[in-house]
Each structure stands twice: as C-alpha cells, then as structure tokens.
Structure 1
C-alpha cells in the first residue's frame, strides 16, 4: 500500500530486508522531509521487525538536535537542510535506536524554499559499519513527487551499499 503510493517495488524492499537479515544487521531512520515514509516502506515487508529497529520523525528543527543528536551549532550556522545534517541524522538514528545502519533524510519538498534552499533539494545520509556518507539529489515535481522520489533514492542507494 505505502510502496505502491511511493512507486517503490515491493521486491526491492523485500530484498533489502532479506539482505540485512542474512547479514544479521539492523537499520533505523531519522527523517525530516519524508516524515517516516522510509520506515513505513521498510516495515511494509513481512518479517521486517527482525531488522528494522525504529525511526525518528524529526520534522521540526529543534527535534533534530533533541532526538537525533544533530549538533545545534551546525543547525544554527547552516539550517536544517544541509549534507552534514543528513549525516548526523543517520548517525543519530543508528546510535539512538541501537542499529548497525542509520539512514537520515533532510530536504525541501516545497513548494517554497527553506532557508534559501530550493525545493527539490534532498540530502540523504547513511551511517554504517564503514562510516558515514552523504548523497545530495535535486528532485523535481510537487511535494508528493519530491518526497516519494526521496524515499526511492534512499532505498535504492541503501540497497546498493549493502551489495
């Protein structure tokens, strides 16, 4: 149901869950612009409870610090939509939820810019056994299209990291 609405193939997410299960690893999320859609997509797969530890919806800027541990100085200097924020969201999700992997998303779904950042700008952070990495995307469309594409890109990239 969620996967269909986001345009995410069930088989892709099921494969990601199975890969994590086979490796004995877990994942957690910290999501801003997607407000829990990545966690919802992951948990649509039966048996996902074996690998999905949890997720943080940190839509408000102050919650990025309080719940996910993002440096308040970083938020004050650069705002909530920044590559380093995505990295710290990912690391915070992993740390706060006790997971092997963390996925963090922040961006601007639109229709208006936020803190001078254009709509469609999305930063995806990934924290895992080999460190933290970030990917930045500029996605097109309305709010729904940007949010759905952010989920698809995050899941595709995460699946690629696990291969």
Structure 2
C-alpha cells in the first residue's frame, strides 16, 4: 500500500498548521467530486466551526496530497447505534493531481490506525460513501471496510454505510 502520513492540523505548531492549510486550499478537485466531498476551503471552515472534527492533512513524501476528517461524535448522524461509539471518517479528498495511485485506500487504512489510537473507546471507523462514487467504494473495500447498510438522509442521493472494526474489537 502507498506510504502516507495523516497529520492532525490542530496538533501542529501555528506556522506549520498555516502552511498545511495553505497546501490543502491549493488541492485541485474535479467538479463532479465536489458534491461528494466539498471544496478544500469549505472543509477547513467546517473544522474551524466544529472543533470536535479532527481535520487531517494527508502527506506523501512531505507534500500534502489530500485531506480528511475524523469526527468522533458524529456516527449517529448515519443512523449508527448511539451505544456503539464508532468514529466517523468523512470528507476524504485526494487532490486531482494525486488520484489513481491508491492514496484513497491508504488514507482509509491509516485513518483506522489513527482513530484507534485517538479514540480508544470506539469500536471502529464508520463512513458513508455515495453509491455513485465507485472509486471511493473500491478504495474503502480494499482497506478492509465492509458495507453494513444504507443511508438515505444526504442531499446527494443514497449512500453506502461502511465499517471497519478496530483490531481490539471496541
């Protein structure tokens, strides 16, 4: 699997964080992907508005190639059982210039390790991926996520709900 590093922006010193945020803002995204994930600037703004979102930069070889968010208090929004504190992985964006190299699957895999370390009370990572986003579904499946249901509450059509349990089993 492609070697990447997930860097939590809120844990970076101010100057490093600002530099990473600027690299995230500069990520190009295909227009048809905007509906699935949003624009980089919007993701930064949401993380600022909702401090419980753990926005991360995806680095490969020292360069920011993508971003994503772990949201420990949000899995219930997908209809996830509130007594099962799974972490929600959302808004995974790989820059257009870096797509097609397995980075999405690498992020999905690394997000499980990060979430298990950061949220030991959780049972695993849950996400939703639009049924029309076949590349996203492939990436998550290859990282060990299983389809566990369907979510119909989003504004962009039906979503597959996928889950990967932590090694410790919650």
Scaled by the length of structure 2, the TM-score of the pair is 0.32
Higher share of residues assigned strand: 2
Scaled by the length of structure 1, the TM-score of the pair is 0.33
Higher share of residues assigned helix: 1
